[in-house]
Structure formats: C-alpha cells, structure tokens
Amino acid sequence: MTISNASQDSLLSGLNDKQLEAVTLPHQSALILAGAGSGKTRVLTTRIAWLIQTGQVSPTGLLAVTFTNKAAKEMLTRLTAMLPINTRGMWVGTFHGLCNRLLRAHHREALLPATFQILDSADQLSAIKRLMKVMNVDDEKFPPKQVMGYINSCKEEGLRAQSVDAYDPHSQRMREIFEEYDKQCQREGVVDFAELLLRCYELLSRDTNIRQHYQERFKYILVDEFQDTNKLQYMWLKLFAGMSKEEPNNCIFAVGDDDQSIYSFRGARVGNMRDFEVDFKVQNIVKLEENYRSHSNILDAANAIISNNKNRLGKNLWTSAGAGEPVRVYQAYNDIDEASFIVDEVKILHNDGWALNDIALLYRSNAQSRVIEHALFSHNIPYRVYGGLRFFERAEIKHAMAYLRLINNPEDDIALLRVINFPTRGIGARSLEQLQESARAQDCSLWQAAINKVGNGRPGKGLEGFVALIKQMQDDAKGLTLTEMTEIATTISGLKNFYKLEKEGEDRIANLDELINAAVSFMNNNSDALEDNSNGLTEFLTHASLEAGEHQADVGADALQLMTVHAAKGLEFKAVFISGLEEGLCPHENSLYENNGLEEERRLMYVAVTRARQRLYLSHAQSRMLHGQIRYGIASRFLDEIPDALLKRLNSKQAPKPSMSSNYDNSYQSASAARSSEQKSAMPWKIGQAVSHAKFGQGVVVSYEGNASDMRIQINFGREGLKWLAMEYAKLEKA
DNA sequence: GCACCCCAACTTTTT
DNA sequence: GTTGGGGTGC
C-alpha cells in the first residue's frame, strides 16, 4: 500500500459500522442490501475510492454499472471529489453506454459498421411498422407496439428468434417478424437498446480473446440498483465475472434494495438478488438499515407497509433522528377537494419559509397531475412537472438529427424516411411507395434507390431536390466542425424557415438553437476523448440516442415538484404529498391481475413514503374523475397498513366542503341526481355512500339498476373488486 | 398534401 | 377528459 493511513482515514471517516464493513470488504463477491436513505451511493463511491487508494486496483481496472446516466455522472462527480484522479478512461457508465463503448471498439467482431446508429424507442417502433408493411402483416392482429414489446422482452431474456418457442400460428408469425426485424436492422446498420446489450453479450460469449481481455482487465465489478437488472443484464455481468473454473473469477459488488424493486414491468427481476447470492456464494449480506433521511414516524409507517410483503430478503429501517411529526392523512370529498387541500397546505408551508423545491407531490399515474396542475396554476404556485418529452425526443430535434444522420450515413433508412418530405418538398405517399418498391427490388437502401432513380432520369422534382440537398449538405459538411454541421442541418434543410412560417414555431426554433448549443457543449466536454480524425458526428449522434437529455429546462427556479412515484425513486424532499391513495389507483387495478402485482404496488408505496424527510401527507378522495367518468373509490389498503398511532387524520368526516368548485359540484350532482329522480323512493343508498358487507367488507356504492321490486346495486369493495348485489338479499350497513 | 374528424385508449419508463 | 393515430375528403 502506497497511501498513508491518514488519508485512508479521511476517506472512511464518518461511515457507520455497516457502511464501513461494506466499503472495506475483502476481494469477494458481495451483496449490499441498501435501504432507502441509507447512504447507498456514498458506499458505492467510497468503495471504489478505497479500492483505488489502497492500491488494490487501478482506476481502469474496475467496471461500475448503473441504469441511468444521472447515476453514472453522480458517481464520477463524487469520485473526483474524493480522489485526485482523472476519471477519463474509467469504465463507469450505464449498461447501454458501456455496451456501446465495447461494441464500437470491436465493431468488426460484432459484425457492425463502425458508424452503427442506435435506435431509440420511437425509431424502433417506426422501423417495425415499416417492416410489417413490407411483410404484409395485419396490424390489427399484431399491434406494432405489442410486437415491439415482444421483441424487446425476448432480447432482454437473451433470446434470438431462432431460440424462441412458438407453438401456435400467432406466436410463429410473431417470431417471424422478430427474425425479419433483426435482418432489417442488420442491413441498415442500426441497433435498438436491447440489441446493444444482447450483441455485446453474444460477442463476449463467442469471442474468447475479447472475453478474456476484459475478464483480465476488470477484477472488480460494481453494480448499482441491482434489483432492477433483467435476465440479460445478469447474464452479461456473469460473463464479465467469469464463472467457470478456468476463468479468473472476478468479484461483483452488487448494491440494491429488493423493497424498492418497482420496474418488473420492464423486465427487472428481483429474483436476481437471490440468484446472485447462490451463484456467487455470497457469505453474508451486508444490510444498511440506518436511515439518514427521515424521522422515525415516517420510517415506521414505511416499515409497517412493506412488512406485509412475503417475498423479502428482510430489512428494517431505523434512525436516530427522533419521531418527528405524525403522518398526516386527508380524506377528500373528491379530486378537486384533494387538490385544493394540497394547494392550501403548500401555501402554508411556503409562507412558513419552506422552499417549494423541497416539496414534492407524488401520484401513481400521470393523468392525476392535471387536476392538481389546474389548482396550482389558478393559485399562482409555480410548479414543475417531471416526465413527458425530453429534449432529443422533440419532433423538431429529431428532424434536425435525422439530417445529421444522413450526412453521417445516407443509407440510414429511418432518418431518410423521417425527413424525405419534411419540410414538404412534394414527395407524397405515392412516390415514397415507388421508392421503397424499387429499393426492395434492387435490395438496397432507400438512398441508393433514390440515387439510381435520379441517374435514370425522371425521378420527380421532389426526389431530385432531396438527393441534391443531402449531397450538398454532405459536401458542405466536409471539414466543418460539429457545430457548423448542426447549423447546416437546421438551415439548409429548410427546417428553420419552415418553423418561422408556422404560427407557434418560436419554441421549436428556440429548441433548434438549443441543439446548436448542445453540439457546442458536447464538443467542449468530449473533444479530447475523440479520435484525432473524428469530427465528433457519430459520437454526438450516439450521445443523443443514449442520453435523451433533461426533461425540462429552467431547473433553477423555486417550484413545487410534481412527478410519478416511479420518477421519485432515488430523490428526497423535506415534505412529500402522496395523492390518490385509493383502491384501483394505488394499488392500481391492473396490477391485481399481474403476478406479484400487489407486492410491487406495495413497494411503490414504500418508495413513495421513504422520499419524505420531515413531513408526509397522504391523501385520498371519495370520488374522482377518471377516463371522463366519476369514479367512487375507497381508501387504499396501504393506508390501513399504517398503525394509527403514527397518523394524524386531518378530516375523517366526509362532509362536502361548502366552498366546492361549483362546476364540478354540479356535474357530480347531475350524474347521481339524474338517476335518483327516476327511482328515488326505491333507492335506499346514495351513490358514493360508504357501506359494509358481512363477506366483502368495506365498499362504496357505485351505481344501481332495476326497479323497486328488483333492484341491483353495484358496490366497489376495493380489494374484492366491483360486485353487483341484489338489494333484496344483500345485507348492507352504513359504514 | 393537408386539414379535419372520429374513435380508441388510458400504469408505471430508462436506455 | 384528453390525446394521438388513422382514415377520409377536398
């Protein structure tokens, strides 16, 4: 060891016993069960710093994998703060980023062109639609989105078309599309996200030399958010680790939290944690349970909720911070009342000096934000919604990027199709079909086909113009910097002029200008990493696909934070509102039909609760507008799972507020009043009335039908679902 | 080629 | 209620 004990001490000082144990584990595979707010990122980065500082590994001898670019960046930032090292050349990144890097380095062995492009989801979908047209597939029977999901989940299981089971005609056709899709991608030199991983995995399994090279290089492999890995990612990690006797047996330091696994819908397998324990003979799991974020009332609530899950590795968060405030529960009359409650509370907090940035409003589904946004807007409370379109996903940016892609490689059919007639230049569906037809006949790219048409004369004015435009752009681009090329792509293409003429095109033009800025800063940040002869274009295109950019600009201003619970994972706020805690929304009704769906919903609730540092509000509404209809829900079972002693109920009575927003009130009344006027006398229960049933428990009256002698009543029993009961026999009581 | 209309969907999402 | 995609008509 070349480093003095003193500086080692400073690196390790302030860690608790468990954190210290994790950071200084000997050379062996380890599973760190890191609870919410337990200092997970700190442990991970300190582990890396410690390994380097004690001379056990050089910065280039380790591999650190994350899921998001944000997490990777954060890790590098913290690392440079701890150690005076140059992080360039270190393999710290996302699964996709690292696979991309490896495939670029070995593109020949991976059978890819050096300039292979990465399809984002939108590109992939349009590629599939295009293929399905060629193959004459009925998109009623095979919705392109489903086909895409099928292809991606196959790849995420590590499967190619040849190895997929298909016993019925439908799945056989599906498999056929999968196979043709892969051929099309190969022809066009493009890879989708899942392909990046699968291609990389296959390359390493096939090519012993390359595999050995990396296995010898990466003695230490560190994985963040291990509970979110899918099957292929786990297989990929095993390859790097080297599992067989002859292989080096590198060790994996896996950090994760099974209780925060909320991404099974996109292929994540919590089970990888248990498999890892067995496969890598993990001796003991290090549990980080001391929480540095929340007061204990909040943690106790979270612990109580999650303890209802059966399949857990087991963990209980604790804090030395004291009980803190009770968890506040508000029962709202309807969604609008819920929103106005939140607005009132936020105002109070803000007046008391809380920064809006420190307050988050969480919901299960994006649709719920509308009502709240409306309330915030009319009360002039600044807010920021996370989610939605990101920079490189905006239409105008994708158009400009398509021109750049064509400069880079005109055979890029996807890019060509996107802009061949945008801005419009008289190439309609007819001429496009002809072009695609002749490309198919000649078995070449659309660009080649277009060139041939122009060469043969009578290509049509539009097509001739397009070919000339791209050729001119390519000519102009020679010797230009990336920034200048980007300018060309937005101007010569006619994009800017097009948006200038549009009524509401200012934002789009501003975005196009922002794209030029993005190119400038990309070059500033990466110029020394680029090869000497590279103008950075391929790298910039990759950057755009792999890092779609921040969701929204002006992050600086103080604003209330609105986001889904999923988007809140990994974040923390001084005060958190969790809204819409009703059966059907949270847990979401769809989840109840899924395997272990309820447990995942409960983990979602757990994630939501553990975001709060100091104050936590839970709210539910007796009725809310959903899909254009009023729905009556009962309180989420997750609320019942919190011990009463931790709660403070702000209004347990369901009396409607007199100050209700009038238009909603009317629409609410008209819905129920319309029916009750028909059969008022026969109806003993009002719609929205909470009732209890001997067998089904608590419920809410949703609707009814029939006449006085034969009336049926529909009740939402939450966990038991919607039930029709005959009035005559059902023994209902007011709840 | 484009504007307009209708109908269906509608949980969560990173790369 | 809203949005987006697809189809139709000028």
Q: Tens of pLDDT along A405-426? A: 999 989 888 899 999 988 888 8
Q: From the Cβ of A625, is strand C under 7 Å away?
A: yes
Gap from A454 CA to B14 C1', Å: 42
Using the CB atom, is residue A130 less than 7 Å from strand C? no
Q: Shortest CA–C1' contact from A99: which nucleotide?
A: B15
Sheet with A697-707, side-by-side order of all strands: A722-726, A710-716, A697-707, A690-693, A732-734
Question: What Å value separates CA A417 and C1' B15?
Answer: 23
Q: What percentage of chain A carries pLDDT values higher than 90? A: 66
Catalytic residues of A: 40-41, 224-225, 260, 611
Cβ of A129 near strand C (under 7 Å)? The reply is yes
**Using one digit for the tens of pLDDT, what is the confidence trace for A692-715?**
776 667 777 766 555 455 565 667
Q: What is the spatial distance between Cα A20 and Cα A202, in angstroms, rounded to a whole number?
A: 37
| A734 burial level (CB within 10 Å; 0-12, 13-18, 19+) | exposed
Q: Band the pLDDT of A687: cuts 50, 70, 90.
A: low
pLDDT at A3 over 70: no
What integer pLDDT is reported at residue A731 of this predicted model? 64
Residue A83 tokens read as: 């150690």
pTM of the model: 0.86
Q: Which residues on adjacent β-strands are paired with residue A705?
A: A712
CB A627 within 7 Å, strand C:
yes
Question: What burial letters (b/e) apply to A474-510, b meaning 16+ CB within 10 Å?
Answer: eeebeeebbbebbbbbbebbbbbebbeeeeebeebbe
**Among A592, A668, A658, A684, which residue's Cα sits nearest to residue A629?**
A668
**A564 CB-to-strand B distance under 7 Å:** yes
Residue among A482, A457, A478, A481 at smallest CA distance from A467: A457
* pLDDT tens by residue, A439-458: 888 988 999 999 998 887 66
Phi, psi of A362 (to 5 degrees): -110, 150
| Amino acid A474: pLDDT | 94
Distance in Å, residue A731 CA to nucleotide B13 C1':
45
Torsion A519-A522-A527-A532 (CA) sign? negative
Q: Please, are residues A575 and A349 in contact by the beta-carbon 8 Å criterion?
A: yes
Confidence at residue A712, expressed as pLDDT on a 0 to 100 scale: 58
Residues 39-68 of A with CB under 7 A from strand B: 67-68
pLDDT band at A552, cuts 50/70/90?
Answer: low
Using pLDDT thresholds of 50, 70 and 90, give the confidence band for residue A508.
Answer: confident
Residue A554 is predicted with a pLDDT of: 56
Split at pLDDT 50, 70, 90, the class of A678 is very low
Nucleotides of strand B under 7 angstroms from a protein beta carbon? 1-2, 9-15
CA distance A610 to A729: 45
Comparing A257-271, A361-375, A499-513, A589-603, the range with the smallest average pLDDT is A499-513
Strand B contact at CB of residue A620, distance < 7 A: no
Q: Strand C within 7 Å of which CB atoms in A 141-160?
A: 144
* Strand B, CB < 7 A, residues 159-218 of A: 193-194
Return all residues near A500 (Cβ < 8 A) that are at least 6 apart: A509
Weakest-pLDDT range from A6-10, A447-451, A519-523, A599-603: A6-10
Q: Which residue has the higher pLDDT, A592 or A555?
A: A592
- Find out whether A137 and A177 touch, Cβ atoms under 8 Å: yes
Query: Cα(A725)–Cα(A611) distance, rounded to whole angstroms?
Result: 41
